[in-house]
Amino acid sequence: EDKVVQSPLSLVVHEGDTVTLNCSYEVTNFRSLLWYKQEKKAPTFLFMLTSSGIEKKSGRLSSILDKKELSSILNITATQTGDSAIYLCAVEGGSNYKLTFGKGTLLTVNP
């Protein structure tokens, strides 16, 4: 059975801190790993990673995939209160392209 594990489950930091969120996976026929941010209801897409070692960057957020270690990290630098959300990691694989999600990391950024 496909599995995605995220750590930590929750994290509280102060504005300006840098955080690293972790995601590890076990999935057959790996195709891609995706990061989403969920603030209220709909997860919003952040990154899709398919190749190992290539960092994807968007503003203060960056992510990288390590296929050898079957893991990915999401970095957020100079955190702001607006970064407070659940960050979901999902892996696309199997025979029908479904996403298997981890339970998420709840990030709280205090002023």
Partner 1 sequence: GAGVSQSPSNKVTEKGKDVELRCDPISGHTALYWYRQSLGQGLEFLIYFQGNSAPDKSGLPSDRFSAERTGGSVSTLTIQRTQQEDSAVYLCASSLSSGRGNEQFFGPGTRLTVL
Q: Of the listed pieces 20-28, 36-44, 52-60, 71-79, which binds partner 1 according to CB under 8 A?
A: 36-44
* 49 part of the interface to partner 1, by CB under 8 A: no
By CB under 8 A, name the one of 31, 52, 80, 108 that touches partner 1: 31
User: Which is closer to partner 1, CB of 57 or CB of 103?
Assistant: 103
What is the DSSP pairing of strand 56-58 with strand 3-7? Answer: unpaired
Q: What's the count of helices (H) and strands (E) in the chain, helices before strands?
A: 0, 11
Q: Is 60 in the site for partner 1 (CB under 8 A)?
A: no
Nearer to partner 1, 44 or 80 (CB): 44
What's the CA gap between 85 and 58, in Å, rounded?
A: 17
DSSP state of 29: T
101 binds partner 1 (CB under 8 A): yes
Order of all β-strands in the sheet with 3-7 = 3-7, 19-26, 71-76, 61-66, 56-58
DSSP-derived letter for residue 18 is -
Choose between 17 and 106: whose C-beta lies nearer to partner 1.
106
Residues that bind partner 1 (CB under 8 A): 4, 31-32, 34, 36, 40-45, 48, 50, 88, 90, 92, 95-104
